[in-house]
């Protein structure tokens, strides 16, 4: 099977990161190169200035291509931002009488029909996630695919993620202005989950919280299925701005204070701990109390985590998160944020990093193990899964053999009297029976072209 090279492009509010990778040993990902640059023209995950964003994309991609010694012309792009919404819907179809059992085309038709639901003006569908299937009003367990089940009616509950069409167009324009083609679009918390979660987490029940610069993304999994998604308009930049205004310092100084000396708990710092910030021009250095700094960070971080907890409660899965809460994204590196998250959500919490999925290469692993790279590396993993699935399906078509042909010829020799020759109806091609999550993957392949091309 061809080991395809995949490129993931994370267009964030504070950074644009590009990762080039391919499948390594033990199902890990081998990062061949990566590039990172400051994000210009992007606010709260939304491309505001297409030309400025395109220039930032061009720089990050050029750096990654140079390090990996490859030419890059197509990318998997993450999408997030305040314009992301989600809803639930129920769909139902009648199975054609000529089908003895539910076939893949019936499942595809049910999922495809979700694209015809009524949306708010300017909205388009990004993802359609089946939750639960019913055949003739009998619920199927998550381990059982409806394909192959006998029945007359197929029904399902769906979790549907939508975005603003104009914002999607702006992403496309910025990427194309940078000289690239979009291979596919992926909701960022879905990509991040591939980099920091495993099947055990998803099956047990887990809340993934990706704290970026402009937004905080929440995705809740249970029984291996994504159950709830949400994008919150507060994240790391809000904390930085609070420090800037509260301490009366420059933005870059506020960011440095946050990352190097900040804490989410006031009790973790001493009363007399002081930090000196260089003054502007001839001004004297500015002294800042670490206790005061921690108070500023605590107030905003607590607000963010309270909104996260609200989303967890809203999902209906708050009592089912055996794997707890996983924090990732740049904001997950704030000191004591794990402890504060446990206090607010009342769930075990850990920091999710993508290093467990990385193979050692010439790219230093410690550079890539930062949680802020979870989305970019997750996009590579997503693209690899799609590529491998496509190759597997093609191989199945090429290698398929009619195993009954020899048996039929043997049986005909045993018969004492030949059967009257009759014209057989053309045989239907057998379709691969796949799990619901694989059906989603097939459907998502068509997403970007269906929506904006």
pLDDT, tens only, 357-367: 888 666 666 67
Locate the domains of the chain by residue range: 85-163
pLDDT of residue 449: 46
Give CA 68 to chain center in angstroms: 24
pLDDT-wise least confident of 24-28, 55-59, 419-423: 419-423
Q: What pLDDT score does 366 carry?
A: 67
> Each residue of 307-359: pLDDT tens digit?
999 999 999 999 999 999 999 999 999 999 999 999 999 999 999 999 878 88
Report the SS3 class of residue 426: coil
CATH of range 85-163; options 3.30.70.260, 3.30.1490.110, 3.10.450.50, 3.90.1150.10: 3.30.1490.110
Comparing 267 with 341, the larger pLDDT belongs to: 341
Does residue 416 surpass a pLDDT of 60?
Answer: no
Question: For 108-150, what is each residue's pLDDT tens digit?
Answer: 999 999 988 989 899 999 999 999 999 999 999 988 999 999 9
3-state SS assignment for residue 128: strand
User: Interhelix angle for 436-445 vs 104-113, to 10°?
Assistant: 60
Per-residue model confidence (pLDDT) at position 420:
46
Average pLDDT taken over every residue of the chain:
86
With bands split at pLDDT 50, 70 and 90, how would you rate the model's confidence at 165? very high
C-alpha to C-alpha distance for 106 and 433, rounded to whole angstroms: 12
Closest CA to 112 of 138, 97, 93, 132: 93
pLDDT at position 411: 44
Residue 172 has pLDDT above 80, yes or no: yes
Q: Counting beta carbons within 10 angstroms of the beta carbon of residue 416, is it exposed (0 to 12), middle (13 to 18) or buried (19 or more)?
A: exposed
Report the alpha-carbon distance of residue 230 to residue 210 in Å, rounded.
Answer: 11
- Could you count the other beta carbons within 10 Å of the beta carbon of residue 138? 11
Q: What is the pLDDT of residue 223?
A: 94
Q: No. of H helices and E strands in the chain? A: 14, 18
Q: What is the mean pLDDT of residues 72-88?
A: 91
- DSSP bridge pairs for 101: none
Taken in order 233, 234, 235, 240, is the CA torsion positive or negative? positive
pLDDT tops 60 at residue 61: yes
Query: Is pLDDT at 404 greater than 70 in this prediction?
Result: no
């Amino acid at each position: 099977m061809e080991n395809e090279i995949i490129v993931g492009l994370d267009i964030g509010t504070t950074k644009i990161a590009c990762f080039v990778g391919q499948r390594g040993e033990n199902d890990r990902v081998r990062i061949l190169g990566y590039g990172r640059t400051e994000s210009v023209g992007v606010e709260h995950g939304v491309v505001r200035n297409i030309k400025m964003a395109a220039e930032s994309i061009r720089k990050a991609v050029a750096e990654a291509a140079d390090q990996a010694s490859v030419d890059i012309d197509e990318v998997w792009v993450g999408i997030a931002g305040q314009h992301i919404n989600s809803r639930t819907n129920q769909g139902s179809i009648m199975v054609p009488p000529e089908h003895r059992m539910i076939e893949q085309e019936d499942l595809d038709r049910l999922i495809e029909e979700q694209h015809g639901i009524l949306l708010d003006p300017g909205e388009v569908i990004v993802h359609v996630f089946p939750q639960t299937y019913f055949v003739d009003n009998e619920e199927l367990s998550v381990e059982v695919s409806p394909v192959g089940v006998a029945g007359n009616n197929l029904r399902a509950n769906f979790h549907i993620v939508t975005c603003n069409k104009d914002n999607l167009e702006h992403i496309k324009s910025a990427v194309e202005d940078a000289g690239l083609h979009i291979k596919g679009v992926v909701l960022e918390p879905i990509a991040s989950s591939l980099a920091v979660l495993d099947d055990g987490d998803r099956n047990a029940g887990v809340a993934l919280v990706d704290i970026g610069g402009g937004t905080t993304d929440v995705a809740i999994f249970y029984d291996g299925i994504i159950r709830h998604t949400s994008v919150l308009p507060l994240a790391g930049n809000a904390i930085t701005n609070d420090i800037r205004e509260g301490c009366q310092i420059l933005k870059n100084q506020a960011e440095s204070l946050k990352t190097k000396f900040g804490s989410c708990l006031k009790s973790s710092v001493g009363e007399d701990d002081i930090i000196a910030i260089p003054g502007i021009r001839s001004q004297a250095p500015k002294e800042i109390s670490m206790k005061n700094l921690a108070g500023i960070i605590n107030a905003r971080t607590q607000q963010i985590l309270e909104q996260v907890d609200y989303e967890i409660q809203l999902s209906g899965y708050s009592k089912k998160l055996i794997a707890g809460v996983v924090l990732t994204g740049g904001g997950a590196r704030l000191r004591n944020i794990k402890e504060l998250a446990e206090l607010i959500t009342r769930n075990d919490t850990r920091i999710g990093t993508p290093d467990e999925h990385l193979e050692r290469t010439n790219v230093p692993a410690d550079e890539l193990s930062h949680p802020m790279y979870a989305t970019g590396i997750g996009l590579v993993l997503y693209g690899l899964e799609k590529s491998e699935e496509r190759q597997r399906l093609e191989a199945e078509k090429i290698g398929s053999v009619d195993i009954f042909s020899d048996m039929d010829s043997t049986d005909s020799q045993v018969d004492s009297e030949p059967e009257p020759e009759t014209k057989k109806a053309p045989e239907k091609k057998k379709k691969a029976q796949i799990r619901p999550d694989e059906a989603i993957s097939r459907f998502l392949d068509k997403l970007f072209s269906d929506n904006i091309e």
